[in-house]
Amino acid sequence: MTRVVILISGRGSNMASLLAASDSGALPAKIVAVIANRPDAQGLLTAAARGVATGVVDHRLFAEREQFDSALAAAIEVFAPDLVVLAGFMRILGADFVRRFDGRLINIHPSLLPAFPGLHTHRRALAEGVRIHGCTVHFVTADLDHGPVIIQAAVPVLDGDDEDLLAARVLAQEHVIYPQAVRWFAEGRLRVHAGRVLLESAPDGAGVLIAPLPDPCPPC
């Protein structure tokens, strides 16, 4: 069974969705540890209550990012993971760390990449007036928020949305697609070719998403 280590920085809502999927048997993977870069990360309590090993590598104790990355990698390797999952992990990881876990390091980002990499994605989506927003699970590369895309979910941007309303709508979809991405990885169905993720037995892609929906009976 695929061994998974999850990295968090805060409450870990995506971590909780993965734990729930694993506990229910919907995820053919075992979450062997949750590691945070902050000792006060609330998700650590959630993981410990589920009987999952936890650890902290506090980034504030390291003068250089490379030192933190090295200590974090060592803490991860103790659990011999097949996959490392970033779930709200709010630290930029260096190229050496990414190379060490190449092909087995994934992240979820609250936008439809390559749109809106970085922070404040919902605020920026609203400011740009986009009609479709969403979230992306991708393999991590040294290029921030630009790794090969595994799965995306789109949501409509509604009139009257603010940051909180849009963020909540996107987060609900994050909890759907992250377990799906981990499941595909655990089943050995993902392959990266020429910077693109190929999925064995993928859907035919015939569906189309339009947001907002046009009037069902526009005026003549």
Tens of pLDDT, residue by residue over 114-155, are 999 999 999 999 999 999 999 999 999 999 999 999 999 999
209 lies in some domain: no
Dihedral over Cα of 168, 169, 172, 177: its sign: negative
User: How do residues 41-86 score in pLDDT, each as one tens digit?
Assistant: 999 999 999 999 999 999 999 999 999 999 999 999 999 999 999 9
Which ranges constitute the DSSP H helices of the chain?
Answer: 13-24, 43-49, 65-77, 95-100, 121-128, 163-186
Residue 188's domain spans which residues?
2-199
188: left (phi over 0), alpha (psi -120 to 50) or beta: left
pLDDT of residue 215: 59
pLDDT of residue 208: 66
215 lies in some domain: no
User: How do residues 195-208 score in pLDDT, each as one tens digit?
Assistant: 999 998 866 666 66
218 lies in some domain: no
pLDDT of residue 201: 80
Q: pTM for this structure?
A: 0.93
User: How do residues 155-188 score in pLDDT, each as one tens digit?
Assistant: 999 999 999 999 999 999 999 999 999 999 999 9
116 lies in some domain: yes
Higher pLDDT, 123 or 212: 123
Instruction: Please check whether residue 8 is in contact with residue 88, taking contact to mean a CB–CB distance below 8 angstroms.
Output: yes
Q: What is the mean pLDDT of the chain?
A: 94
Nearest of 188, 163, 205, 201 to residue 29 by alpha carbon: 188
pLDDT of residue 206: 65
Angle between helices 121-128 and 163-186 (to 10 degrees): 120
207 lies in some domain: no
Structurally, the chain folds into a number of domains equal to 1
210 lies in some domain: no
The three-class DSSP label of residue 35 is: strand
205 lies in some domain: no
10 lies in some domain: yes
- In this structure, what CATH number is given to the domain that contains residue 56? 3.40.50.170
Q: How far is CA 36 from CA 43, 67, 145, 207, in A?
A: 8, 16, 20, 39
Catalytic residues: 109
User: How do residues 8-19 score in pLDDT, each as one tens digit?
Assistant: 999 999 999 999
Dihedral over Cα of 206, 111, 117, 181: its sign: negative
How far, in Å, CA of 150 to CA of 111, rounded? 13
> Taking 60 as the threshold, does the pLDDT of residue 220 lie above it?
no
